[in-house]
Amino acid sequence: MPTSRARILAALQHCTCDRIPICECDIWPETIKRWESEGFPPDTDPRDYFGLDKIDQAGRIDSSFFPHEIYEDNAEYCVDLNGEGTVVKWYKDNNYARGHMELYHRVQTIHDWRAARERLTVTADRLKSFPVADDHFTKFGATDHFWMSFKMCGMENLCCWLLTAPDEMSAIYASYTDYLLKMLDLAVEKQIAFDALWFFSDMAYCSGPMVAPETFRAVIAPSYLRFREWCTKHKKWFFLHTDGNINLLLPELIAVGFDLVHPLEARAGNDVRTIKAKYGDKITLMGNINADILAKGDLAEIEDEIASKITVAKQNGGYIYNIDHSVPPTISFDVYSRAIQWIKQYGAFGS
C-alpha cells in the first residue's frame, strides 16, 4: 500500500500511483462538532477515519514585526495588535463565518515600514519545528512577501503603493525576502527536514486577481523567483495557496516556478477541467471540488461534480484532491462520507 508521501510525490512528478492523493488542508472546528452529533467518533483524526493522505507541518518561520498587545478583552470579543501591526477585533464564539474585523494598520507609510523592518532579526527562536511521520508528506510554512504586505499595510494601502510606488514596494519585498531566505537557510542548518515550501497568499477576488499580471511580473515575481531558486538548490517543492479566480494569474505562477497551486475555488470561476487542458503538464493542481455543491446534499449532483472533474484532472498525474477551500459545517457527515467514497472510486488508476 503506497504511503501518503509516495502518492503525493507521484502526483507532483506527473506520474500515477494506486489512486490520486486525497487530502484536506482544513476542516472547520464547527464541521467536526456537527459531524460528532451525526455519528463521527469524537477525538478522532478525520484523516485516519476517512483514509485521507497526510500533509504535516514540519516547521514555520515567525515573521512578526510587532509584539502582541491586547487592547480590550470581554466575553464577546477581543481587540489586539498582531505581529503584522494590525489591530483586530476577534469574536469568541469561534464562528468562522462571522470571522474577525481589521480595525487599523500600524504601517501607513513607507517610513513606517522602514521602522518596522528593523525588528526582523534572524534568530533561532523565530524558527518553529514540529514532529512528523516519515510516511507523511511534509511542508514548511512562512508568510510570503505579498501576504506580509497585505496584512501589514491593508488592502487599500497595498494596492495604491503597488501602482504609485513600485520601486519602494520592490525594495520592501527584496528586504523581506532576504530575511526569509536567511531563515530558510537556518532551517536547513538546524536539519529541519521537509518536502515543500508552502506559501498561503491570497491574490484574487471572485472576479479576478487583485493585481494586474504586469504588476505581478514587475514587482511581485522577482521574490518568487528567488524562492524558486532556493527550492531548486535544496531539492524542495514549491507550493502556493491562493484564493479567488486565478485564471489570469496562472501563467505568471507557472513562470515563477510554483510546482503546485491550491485550492482552485470553484465558486470563484476556476474549473480544473479547463485548467488541466491548458496547464496540466506545467503545474500540479490541487482542489476544485465545489463545497457549495456538497452542502446542497444532492447526491446525483455531487457524484457528477466529483466524476466529471476527477476523471479529467487525474490524467497523467498532476492532480491532488482537496475540496475547493476548506470543509465548512454546511456539509453533513453522511454527505462527506459518501463524497470520499466517490473520490476514491473515480480517483483510482487502472480502473
Q: Residue 170 carries which DSSP code?
A: H
Residue 101 lies in a domain: yes
Residue type, 5: R
- CA 206 to chain CA mean position, Å: 16
Residue 225 lies in a domain: yes
Same domain for 323 and 185?
A: yes
Residue 351 lies in a domain: no
| Cα 330 from Cα 333, distance rounded (Å) | 10
Same domain for 204 and 98?
A: no
* CATH at 342: 3.20.20.210
pTM of this structure: 0.95
Same domain for 38 and 184?
A: yes
Same domain for 48 and 191?
A: yes
Q: How many CB atoms lie within 10 A of CB 116?
A: 17
Closest CA to 16 of 313, 303, 341: 313
pLDDT by residue for the chain (351 residues), tens only, comes to 899 999 999 999 999 999 999 999 999 999 999 999 999 999 999 999 999 999 999 999 999 999 999 999 999 999 999 999 999 999 887 665 567 888 999 998 888 888 888 889 999 999 999 999 999 999 999 999 999 999 998 888 898 999 999 999 999 999 999 999 999 999 999 999 999 999 999 999 999 999 999 999 999 999 999 999 999 999 999 999 999 999 999 999 999 999 999 999 999 999 999 999 999 999 999 999 999 999 999 999 999 999 999 999 999 999 999 999 999 999 999 999 999 999 999 999 985
Same domain for 168 and 75?
A: no
Same domain for 33 and 100?
A: no
CA distance readout (Å), 272 to 71, 180, 266, 275, 345: 44, 32, 8, 5, 18
Segments forming the whole domain that contains residue 95: 66-106
Domain count, the chain: 2
Residue 46 lies in a domain: yes
Same domain for 121 and 154?
A: yes
| Cα 305 from Cα 342, distance rounded (Å) | 10
Same domain for 101 and 128?
A: no
